Structure 1
């Protein structure tokens, strides 16, 4: 039975790379601590494959034929896509893919009633994949990656309950379908509150962000599914905050576990709240030992 050995959620604001040096020291400290901690945790977990869920910013599919989930099946993933390079301000990178596992993911999710699409050609990555890949050193780690781009923009959007259901099926697929003893890492990329290009472009809902980080770190998934509605996310930042649904997919896969936050910060030039959570994949085991 394969094992999920790493699970985390982190934002991917483009300014985290291109504008980081100009940010105040306290902001840089939170960003550096968050992504350094995640990079160290991924390395320590010795994962054999990383599956990243992140929203697609309308770059890979037409609005009238927009998949809710699109699996990247390329043997090598390259980014950022040329059009986004000046916007993100990051270097080119390549990450090894995992086509066979990606194909198994497609088949396994289909078998479980979750309709996904898949593409053999390299997907067009912007900050959604580029920022976490570079800031957590995935590009240099040698860990194969499977990107899954999800619909957080084109209605009807899969809501928090549907994304959690997708995550539950993902967890079943990992544990039941992948080779025994395979070590799998999961990352939800997106958020926190922001409204890209909207009337509240520079507005950051700090109260929502802190509420969300505390909630997902607590492991209370019943409350999460009850309160993290699309309406609440839209109120915190239309067209952007719903990227947090990628975190919800990961939470569905791992089940209720406590997590650790690495702090929270805001910076107007990022146009997005910044904070990440690493979930404790050994918590249940320790709790069972304590009960005995």
Structure 2
């Protein structure tokens, strides 16, 4: 699955029209139900790090959270997320196995055994999809979508392919693993288009994903095209690209879309059926 994690979904949810709130509630309820009904044991949540866990001159492309518990939101982000604290079980063994499996991808990949600083990347899915009540362990995989050089769409897709192979072949037999790409859609945090949402891009992108032709997605929904739709924010969709690589070429189902100025972000979600 993949879904937007705009902080407005936690801190400013009530500012949106009821119809848009209902759309987003329904989408995230579907994510909650999918995790529960599939009896997922471990959920990988892949999302932009927002430069919260490393210095710019020493920045990993992907960081696997290997802590036994994941707690948040980080104190610095609480005033604008305005949500309850959470405490989720981790899966250190799974995280360590997957981290080791992707170390030779040519990207800068790290494993971290302490609790990471989580902002909306993990906190919003936890809040909106009620993951604390879903009976699932979490492996956060924080991604570089903003600090140059950013791994582009093909590098992220290839990383996802390696990750998917590792999930299928190196984790214990019978372990049920889900993936959630967290981020997007169009937004430009702090930039001149901070109040703008590129609804045309968002709907085009969701239609492209629903068609299921991953080569077309990679050729057209490039990092540069994402930046055109909103610099410094829209490229969080690279986390969706990782999930696409892991599950392989197939169509997906849109769970809904809303363009709400008060949320400063196009909000949507999709699900791939394996």
TM range (shorter): over 0.9
Structure-2 residue corresponding to 1:140: 133
Determine which of 56, 59, 68 is the counterpart of 1:66: 59
Q: Does 1:238 align with 2:238?
A: no
Pick the structure with greater CA Rg: 1
Q: Does 1:226 align with 2:212?
A: no
Q: Structure 1 residues 95 and 227 mapped into 2: Cα distance closer, same or farther (>3 Å)?
A: same
Tell me by how many angstroms 1:115 deviates.
4.3
Deviations 1:262-285 (A, max 9, x none): 22111111000011001111xxxx
Deviations 1:127-161 (A, max 9, x none): 01000011111122221100010000100100000
Determine which of 88, 104, 122 is the counterpart of 2:115: 122
Structure-2 residue corresponding to 1:110: 103
Following the alignment from structure 1 to structure 2, what is the Cα–Cα distance between the partners of residues 237 and 115? Answer: 25
Following the alignment from structure 1 to structure 2, what is the Cα–Cα distance between the partners of residues 24 and 204? Answer: 16
Q: Describe how 1:1-292 pairs up with structure 2 within 5 A.
A: 8-110=1-103, 115-281=108-274
Structure 2 counterpart SS, 1:274 = strand
Moved more, 240-249 or 20-29: 20-29
Structure 2 counterpart SS, 1:154 = coil
Q: Structure 1 residues 58 and 112 mapped into 2: Cα distance closer, same or farther (>3 Å)?
A: closer
Mapped contact 1:217–1:279 kept (Cα < 8 A): no
Tell me by how many angstroms 1:17 deviates.
1.4
Mapped contact 2:63–2:142 kept (Cα < 8 A): yes
Tell me by how many angstroms 1:112 deviates.
5.6
Mapped contact 1:189–1:247 kept (Cα < 8 A): yes
Q: Structure 1 residues 181 and 136 mapped into 2: Cα distance closer, same or farther (>3 Å)?
A: same
Following the alignment from structure 1 to structure 2, what is the Cα–Cα distance between the partners of residues 150 and 112? Answer: 14
Q: Which TM-score applies when normalising by structure 1?
A: 0.92
Number of matched pairs: 274
Tell me by how many angstroms 1:114 deviates.
5.2
Following the alignment from structure 1 to structure 2, what is the Cα–Cα distance between the partners of residues 176 and 114? Answer: 21
Tell me by how many angstroms 1:15 deviates.
0.6
Gapped regions of structure 2 (runs ≥ 5): none
Following the alignment from structure 1 to structure 2, what is the Cα–Cα distance between the partners of residues 22 and 224? Answer: 33
Gapped regions of structure 1 (runs ≥ 5): 1-7, 282-292
Q: Which TM-score applies when normalising by structure 2?
A: 0.98
Following the alignment from structure 2 to structure 1, what is the Cα–Cα distance between the partners of residues 104 and 191? Answer: 39
Mapped contact 2:181–2:243 kept (Cα < 8 A): yes
